[in-house]
Amino acid sequence: MPNIAIEVAQQLFERIEKKDVAGITALYADDILVWHNFTNATQSKADNLKTLGGLTKNVAQIRYEVIERVSLGDRVMQRHVLRCRVANGEEVAIPACIFVSVRDGRITRIDEYLDTAQSNALGAAIQRANK
C-alpha cells in the first residue's frame, strides 16, 4: 500500500530541486500554512511561493541530501542538508528538519527548522555571486 504523504513530500523536494514553482503550487492546498522556526511566523501559500520563487531564481542548483525521512501517518518528518550552489560555483550547506502534512494528496502544512547562520551564509553567497 503506497504511503501518499511520503510520495507527496518526495515530490515536493524533487520539484524544488528542479526549480519547478508551478509544480510546487499544484502540490499545495489553497489553505496551506508554512511556519519557520527562525521567524516564528506562518506564511500563506502566496507568500511561501514568492519565497521559493526568489530562491530558485537566485541559486544555480538546489539539492537535498536526505539524512532521514519518517512517515508519521499523514505527516512526514525529514532531516536533510539543503545544498545550494550559486552562480559563481560557491556551495552553501544548510542542515534542516522539516515536517510536511498531507491531506487528500495535497500539502496542508509545513513546519521548517533551520539555523539562520546557514541561511544568512546563503544570502551572502548570492550577493557575492551577483557582484
Question: In the chain, where does DSSP find H-type helix?
Answer: 4-17, 21-27, 45-58, 116-129
CATH number at 48 reads 3.10.450.50
Q: Can you tell me the distance from the alpha carbon of 105 to that of 110, in angstroms, rounded to the nearest whole number?
A: 14
Which grid cell is 85?
A: 550552489
When divided into structural domains, the chain yields a total of 1
pLDDT tens digit sequence for 103-125: 999 999 999 999 888 888 898 89
> What's the pLDDT score for residue 92?
95
pLDDT tens digit sequence for 22-72: 999 999 999 999 999 999 999 999 999 999 999 999 999 999 999 999 999
pLDDT at residue 13 tops 80: yes
Domain with 121 in it:
4-129
pLDDT at residue 93 tops 70: yes
* Residue partners of 88: CB distance under 8 A and separation at least 6: 125, 128, 129
> What's the pLDDT score for residue 1?
53
Report, as an integer, the average pLDDT of 67-87: 96
pTM: 0.93
